Amino acid sequence: MEEAVKNTRVVVTLLQSLGFTIILKKSLLIPTHVITFLGFQIDSMCMMISLPAEKADKILHCCRSLLVSQSIELRNLASLIWLLESSRPAIWRAPPHFRHLKSDLRRGLQMNQESYDALIALSPSARVELAW
């Protein structure tokens, strides 16, 4: 561990001498096996990428709030689809199934001149995809 810290100091000093700016408050200079990076938790010991609990909770909250609504804004549906798509690197073995949600979004945009402010009712099959 001490050698890793020493080597880190050498690299930081070298990079700074070459003109690179090191923002120390954004840098993690102590060796670690688990780090949160770009919204994912990366574990170098288990060689796994996972969703932080906050992101998983946000997805569940969005699903539940859309599920209880009779009509939803297309903007909110698009936001949930984006959240699900952005989570793929962490859940690639069990990718989210939201084909019907995407279909409802496309249909809603076509019916409402591409307005994300429009309201739609989700199809029964899209509601099934939300209930997990």
**Considering the chain, what percentage of its residues have pLDDT values greater than 90?**
61
pLDDT tens for 30-85 read: 888 999 888 899 999 999 999 989 988 999 999 999 999 999 999 999 999 999 88
| Beta partners for residue 122, in sequence order | none
Break the chain into its structural domains and give their ranges: 2-50, 53-130
Phi then psi for 95, rounded to 5 degrees?
Answer: -60, 150
pTM of the full structure: 0.73
Report the alpha-carbon distance of residue 129 to residue 132 in Å, rounded.
7
Q: Tell me if 81 sits within 8 A of 101, measured CB to CB.
A: yes
The C-alpha atoms of residue 84 and residue 56 are separated, in whole angstroms, by 10
